[in-house]
Amino acid sequence: MHELGIIIHVAKSLDAVAKENHLTRIGSVTLEIGEVSGIVPEYLTDCWSYYRKKNPLTTEAELRIETLPATTYCEACKKTYPTVAHGKQCPHCGSFGTYLLAGNECNIKEIEAC
């Protein structure tokens, strides 16, 4: 389960932001999770529920998750398409000369201080 490692990294980032901005509490954090990132949102939420209690800064903080759609680009026809629905083969021209543009990321989108 790499979700706990992700939460630990997020918590360290929150600590740094809090220190830099003289925050004493965080109300919520919003993460953007790519559709094909391999991160299981339910596991991430469970890990957050456990780990947030270890730091007074995040004890009551809510975790919000936004899913970013996976998009693939076809080098042959120069079009994009939804990755999950079509996989590696371009639905426009049938080419396998494609690559993922977006959808495998994990970003801190927003931190709400209170």
CA gap 83, 73 in Å, rounded: 9
Domain assignment present for 48: yes
Cα torsion for 33, 81, 91, 73, to the nearest 10°? -100
Helix (H) or strand (E) holding 19: helix 3-21
Domain assignment present for 7: yes
The pLDDT score that the predictor gives to residue 9 is 95
Domain assignment present for 43: yes
Give residue 98's identity as a one-letter amino acid code: T
What are the DSSP calls for 68-106, one per residue?
EPPEEEETTT--EEEHHHHTTS-TTT----EEEEESS-E
Domain that holds residue 12: 3-69+103-113
pLDDT tens per residue, range 21-72: 999 999 999 999 999 999 999 999 999 999 999 999 999 999 999 999 999 9
Domain assignment present for 56: yes
Domain assignment present for 54: yes
Domain assignment present for 74: no
Domain assignment present for 15: yes
Average of per-residue pLDDT values in the chain = 95
pTM: 0.87
Q: Token pair of 40, please?
A: 């299981």
Strand order in the sheet with 71-74: 80-82, 71-74, 98-102
Number of folded domains that form the chain: 1
**Burial of 19 per CB tally in 10 Å (0-12, 13-18, 19+):** exposed
Reported confidence tier of residue 1, pLDDT bands at 50, 70, 90 = low
Reported confidence tier of residue 109, pLDDT bands at 50, 70, 90 = very high
Say which CATH number the domain at 61 has. Answer: 3.30.2320.80
Q: Cβ(18)–Cβ(54) under 8 Å?
A: no
Domain assignment present for 95: no
The pLDDT score that the predictor gives to residue 47 is 95
The pLDDT score that the predictor gives to residue 114 is 78
